[in-house]
Structure 1
Amino acid sequence: MEYWRAALSHTFAAVDIAVPDEVCSGSVRTSRLGQLQVATVDSGPLWVRRTPRMITPGKDQQLIVKLLVRGVARVEQDAREVHLRPGEIVFCDMARPLRMAFPHPFRTKSLVLPRRLLGLGESDLQRLTATSVRPDTTVGSLLSPFVTQLVDAAATYPSATGEVLARHVVDLLTVLVGERLHQEVGDTPSPAQVLLPRIQVFIDRHLADPDLTPDAIARAHQISVRYLHKLFQTEDVTVSRWIQRRRLQECRRELARREAAGRTIAAVARQWGFTSAAHFSRVFRDAYGLSPAEWRDSAARAPRLSPSPRGVSGITEAALARGVPRRF
C-alpha cells in the first residue's frame, strides 16, 4: 500500500489511496519528454484523493491529461463529477483538491505538464477540469489517439527529439483546449467567464445558509436573476440545482466520515442548508440511488484510506463507487 501510494505520488502529486481489503497490485511506466512526463498506469480497484493539506501554495503544480483506456472511473473536482468510459479524456488540476474512483481494474495513459505552460487563467482551468472529452467529438478524435501514440512511443525518442515533441505537444494542447473552452487562443476571458467561478465560490461559502437562493445570489453580485440563470446555462444546470448538488455532495462526504457517526442524519442535513429532513432524504435517494442511512452504512463497511506521509487522518472513500449519482 505505502509503496504503491508513493509511486503514484511521485508520478503525479501527493495523494492518499484506498484499495479493497488492503490488497493492491499495479504498475506505473513513465518517460520524460522535455518538461512533460508521460505515464501508463495499470491497477486493480483504487480510490484516490488529493486534499488541500497536500497542496503547497505557490508551487508550480501539474496539469494532467488523463485518457481512460480500460475500466470505468469517476473524477470529482471544482464541484463537478464526471463518469468516464474507455476512450474518454479528463483534465485534472493538481493545484486543487481532487477525488478519483476506479471501482474495477483499469488502465490510464497520462500527460503530466506544468499548468503554467498552457497559459490558462484560474477561471478557464476551473471550466476545464472534471469534464469528459469524448472520442466522438472534434477535440477527442484528435487528442485520444495522440495521447495513446505519444505515451506508448515516448521511451524510444532521443532526448533532442523529446524536447521538440514536448513543445509541439504544448502547442497542440493549447489549441485544443481553446477549442474546448469555445474561445480562440489569446482571447481575453469574457466578463461572464470571470463572474461564474466567483459566483460558484460564493455559493460554496454560503451552502449552510437555508436562505441561499437565486435572488440572494443575484443581489450579492449586483446582477439580475435572469442574467444569473443565463450564466449557469453553460453548466447545463439551473442555479437551484447547482446549490442542491453541492449541498448533497457535502452531506454525502459528512455521512461517510466515521468521526461523524454519532450525528443524526437530520443534523447533517441542517448543517448544509436543508430545512426538511424528509426533503433531504428524498433528493438524496433521487441523486444517488440509496437513502442517507444506506449510504452511511455502506461507507462504514468500506476500507479506510491509510494515513498520508504527513499524518493526515484517512477517511472512507472506497464507497464512492456505489450510489453513482443520476443527473438532476
Structure 2
Amino acid sequence: MVTTASVPDRDKAAYWNDAVSRALVPMAVVPQGDGPFDGRIATDRLGYLRVSTMEADAKRISRTPRLIARSSEEAFVGIGVQVSGTATVIQDGRRAEVGAGDLVVYDTARPYSISYPQRFATHVFQLPRRVLGVVEADIRQVTGTAIGTADGFGSMLVPFLAALAASAHAYPPAVADRLAGNVVDLFSTLVAERTGRPTPEADTARAHLVLRVRKHINQHLGDPDLSPESIARALRISIRHLHRVFEAEGITVGRLIQHRRLEECGRELARRGRRAPTVSVVAQRWGFVSPAHFSRAFRAVYGVSPREWRSLRVADGDGGPGPVPRGISGQQAGRSRTTDGKGSPIT
C-alpha cells in the first residue's frame, strides 16, 4: 500500500500524483479543499488485470491528450466501483454522476476527467484492451455512464466486482487467471446489454483472432509444448476467451493442434525416397513426444498404423496428404492451414 501519511505536507500533492500515475495510468491529480492532503492506494494483480483500491480526500484527476501521447503503457478500459463518496466522470461528451454502489466505465486511450468533491473510496479494475474482444465503437457507448445495482446486469456485476477487489490478493495464480477471464466475460456481457444490437465488427475481430491462432499453431507445430495455454499466453488473451472464440469453429484448439500435427506426419510419411525418416523421427519433428501416443492417435484418426500408412501410400505412388482424418469435416480440414493469400500454407 502507498500512503501519504508519512510524507511532509508540502510534498503530499506531488507524491500522490506520482503514486496514482504509477498505480493506474499517467494523469494530472489536483487535490481540492484546504489543509494537507491524505490518501492511500493499494494495487494487486488478478491475472492480467490490475485491481486498485483507493481512499483519499477530495481531488480531481485528468487524463489529457498530452499525457496519452506521452504514455508508453498499453491502453486499458477502467471499471470504477464507487465504495463511498461521489464522483463526476466526463468522457466522450457524457457526464456521469456516480454514487456509492455505482459502477462507471472509462477508456484510458481517450481523454477523461474524474472529480471527487469530498473524501471517497473506490475500487478500480483495469482491463487491457487487447483481451476484451469488444470493438471500440461499442466501448464508447458505455463510457461516461453510471451503472447501478438496479440497472439490469449491473445488479450482478457491481457486487461481484466489489467482493473480488476486496480479496484480489488472496488468490493463487491459476485461480486469478480464471477470475480475470470471468471479469472480461462479464464486461463483454455488460457491453452487449448496453448496446442492445448485433455487432458485425465483433465477428470480424473474432475471425481475425481465429486466423492469428491458426497461424501461431502452424508456426509452432513442432514445439511439443504447444497447447491452448501456451497459445493464450503468446497472444496475450485469456484461455477462456480463446476457447470461447473457437466455439463457432466446430473443433477445439487442442484437437486442431493434434489434427494439424497428424496431417503433417501423414504427408511426410507418404513421401518416397531412399532416405525417408523413421516414424519416430517424423512424430518427434511434429511435436509428438511419445511414439506410442503418436501411433494410437494416428490409428484413431486414419484407421491404420503410421507404418501401414507409409507402406500403402508409397505402394500407391501417392505423396499427398491422403483422406480427411476421422472426426474432422472437410470444411474444418480446409481451414486447418492458414494461407498467405495465394493458396500456399504458412508454416
Q: How far off is 1:36 after superposition?
A: 0.3
Q: How far off is 1:184 after superposition?
A: 5.2
1:211-222 correspondence runs (5 A): none
Q: How far off is 1:145 after superposition?
A: 0.4
Contact 1:12 1:62 in 2 (8 A): no
Q: Percent identity?
A: 34
1:37 and 1:46, CA in 2 relative to 1: closer, same or farther beyond 3 A? same
Q: Is 1:131 the counterpart of 2:136 in the alignment? A: no
Aligned partner of 1:249 in structure 2 is none
1:139 and 1:157, CA in 2 relative to 1: closer, same or farther beyond 3 A? same
Q: Partners of 1:167 and 1:123 in 2: how far apart?
A: 22
Question: 7, 12, 27: which is aligned to 2:40?
Answer: 27
Q: Is 1:151 the counterpart of 2:162 in the alignment? A: no
Contact 1:49 1:99 in 2 (8 A): yes
Q: Partners of 1:116 and 1:183 in 2: how far apart?
A: 22
SS in structure 1 opposite 2:66? helix
Residue by residue over 1:236-262, the C-alpha shift from the partner in whole angstroms, topping out at 9 and shown as x without a partner, is xxxxxxxxxxxxxxxxxxxxxxxxxxx
Q: Partners of 1:42 and 1:8 in 2: how far apart?
A: 11
Q: Is 1:160 the counterpart of 2:174 in the alignment? A: yes
The unaligned stretches of length 5 or more in structure 2 are 1-12, 204-347
Q: Is 1:85 the counterpart of 2:92 in the alignment? A: no
Aligned partner of 2:25 in structure 1 is 13
1:49-88 correspondence runs (5 A): 49-56=62-69, 60-88=74-102
Q: Partners of 2:68 and 2:177 in 1: how far apart?
A: 28
**Structure number with bigger Rg:** 2
Q: Is 1:46 the counterpart of 2:59 in the alignment? A: yes
Letter in 2 for 1:51: T
Greater relative contact order (CA < 8 Å, ≥ 6 in sequence):
1
Q: Partners of 1:96 and 1:87 in 2: how far apart?
A: 25
Q: How far off is 1:22 after superposition?
A: 6.6
CA RMSD of aligned residues (A): 1.9
1:184 and 1:22, CA in 2 relative to 1: closer, same or farther beyond 3 A? farther
Letter in 2 for 1:70: S
- How many pairs align? 189
Q: Partners of 2:22 and 2:128 in 1: how far apart?
A: 15
Letter in 1 for 2:138: D
The unaligned stretches of length 5 or more in structure 1 are 190-328
Letter in 2 for 1:145: P
Letter in 1 for 2:147: V
Q: Is 1:106 the counterpart of 2:88 in the alignment? A: no
Q: How far off is 1:43 after superposition?
A: 0.5
Contact 2:77 2:108 in 1 (8 A): yes
Letter in 1 for 2:127: L
Letter in 2 for 1:126: R
Letter in 2 for 1:5: N
Letter in 2 for 1:33: L
TM score, norm. by length of structure 1? 0.54
Q: How far off is 1:116 after superposition?
A: 2.6
Contact 1:48 1:101 in 2 (8 A): yes
1:45 and 1:161, CA in 2 relative to 1: closer, same or farther beyond 3 A? same
Q: How far off is 1:21 after superposition?
A: 3.8
Q: How far off is 1:48 after superposition?
A: 0.8
SS in structure 2 opposite 1:128? coil
Contact 1:14 1:50 in 2 (8 A): yes
Q: How far off is 1:121 after superposition?
A: 2.1
1:94 and 1:187, CA in 2 relative to 1: closer, same or farther beyond 3 A? closer
Q: Is 1:174 the counterpart of 2:155 in the alignment? A: no
Q: How far off is 1:188 after superposition?
A: 5.5
